[in-house]
Amino acid sequence: MPELPEVEVVRRTLAPRMVGDRVARIEARAPALREPLDAAALAGDLEGRRIEAVRRRAKYLLFDVKGGRTLALHLGMSGRLTLAEAGGAADELAEGAADGAAGGAAAEAAPGKHEHLVIHLASGRRLRFVDPRRFGLAFSLPTAAIGADPHFAHLGVEPLSDAFDGALLKAAARGRRGPVKPFLMDAKVVVGVGNIYASEALFAAGVHPRRSVARIAPARWRRLAAAVRETLERAIVQGGSSISDFVDGEGRAGYFQVTFAVYDREGLPCPRCATPVRRLVQAGRSTFYCPGCQT
DNA sequence: CGTAGACCCTGCGCGC
DNA sequence: TGCGCGCAGGGTCTAC
């Protein structure tokens, strides 16, 4: 569910309510995520420590605690975080929001299906990590060693940073030949551009998803970089405004506020020229584009 | 080195 | 109404 904007919206929701609080207890259960949960390491690194910052790198959420350790969470495809307030009432709300599919059976097990991790805070709040498809990740590491960690070492530039521009894309494309859409989604080039916003940014820039990166001139790279940035920033603003009403840290609501120009709109009219939107498959992922607007 | 494809896993929506 | 199939926001590994 999460691309960079959704992760960033969750981060902004959680940060003011978690920074300054303390990790009281880590509760790890459910089957392994992409990598097995190391409950002992999480407890040893985090329990009893004050949360100093909630940051983001690519699609990872980073919770820095006092003593130089960091909890890293990745939501994968289906991960969700909910921050339940102290006391019972808000708890139920969070459960309901997090488990939309479990409808019929009232006899669901108490902890909730697919609940992998619960972080109990000293204030009584609880951060729950639910991930049905188990593509997510949760691990702790020394804060100072994040850059060298294999999960982060090869990551490219942040798309909302000053370093990200047309010149960077052009340089990264040197010696490459493939289509631009998978290139945009390559985290070694630029992080956080997932399948939805890759299609959306290409549409906004008027670039055909199959165009070879070897045949993109500087002006077009500039347009594309600007489109990536603006598309992500707009999604953050829209997701953020929709989420501010929520009592929990649920990220999914943001998606319902954002309207896509082409993504998941095969056959529907392009918002700019009314030509029917087309779908194709690249690197195993669906791409949506307007054959009239994108060259 | 760069790229394409398979694979990890569960749930949902659609067509029959 | 039930069942099988295809597809889903991510990332990594292997084979070419």
Which three-class secondary structure state does DSSP give residue A53? Answer: strand
Q: Would residue A272 show up in a list of annotated catalytic residues for this protein? A: no
Q: What is the pTM of this model?
A: 0.90
CA-to-CA dists, residue A124 to A17, A61, A88, angstroms: 12, 21, 10
pLDDT of residue A30: 76
Q: How far is the CA of A218 from the C1' of C5 (A)?
A: 44
Domains identified in chain A and CATH numbers: 4-148 (3.20.190.10), 166-289 (1.10.8.50)
- A171-210, pLDDT tens digit by residue? 999 999 899 999 999 999 999 999 999 999 999 999 999 9
The secondary structure of A166-201, three-state, reads HHHHHHHHCCCCCEHHHHHCCCCCECCCCHHHHHHH
Q: How far is the CA of A261 from the C1' of B16 (A)?
A: 32
Between A96 and A205, name the one with better pLDDT. A205
pLDDT of residue A270: 97
pLDDT surpasses 80 at A60: yes
Percent of chain A with pLDDT over 90: 78
pLDDT of residue A245: 45
The separation between the first and the last C-alpha atoms of chain A, rounded to the nearest angstrom, is 29
Pairing type for strands A51-57 and A126-130 reads unpaired
User: Nearest to residue A26, comparing CAs of A102, A139, A158?
Assistant: A139
pLDDT surpasses 90 at A157: yes
Q: Would residue A3 show up in a list of annotated catalytic residues for this protein? A: yes
Q: Is the CB of A242 under 7 A from strand C?
A: no
Strand C close residues, chain A 168-207, CB < 7 angstroms: 187, 191, 194-196
Q: Which of A19-28, A30-39, A44-53, A202-211 has the lowest mean pLDDT?
A: A30-39
Between A104 and A112, name the one with better pLDDT. A112
Residue A219's H or E segment, with its range, is helix A218-243
Beta-strand ranges (E) seen in chain A are 23-28, 51-57, 60-65, 69-74, 80-84, 115-121, 126-130, 137-142, 278-282, 285-289
CA–CA gap between residue A47 and residue A71 (Å, rounded): 11
Q: What is the mean pLDDT of residues A282-289?
A: 96
Per annotation, catalytic residue among A57, A59, A80, A181: A59
Q: Which residues pair with A54 in a beta bridge?
A: A63
Pairing type for strands A278-282 and A69-74 reads unpaired
Q: What is the mean pLDDT of residues A17-30?
A: 95
pLDDT of residue A246: 44
Find which nucleotide's C1' atom is closest to A279's CA: C7
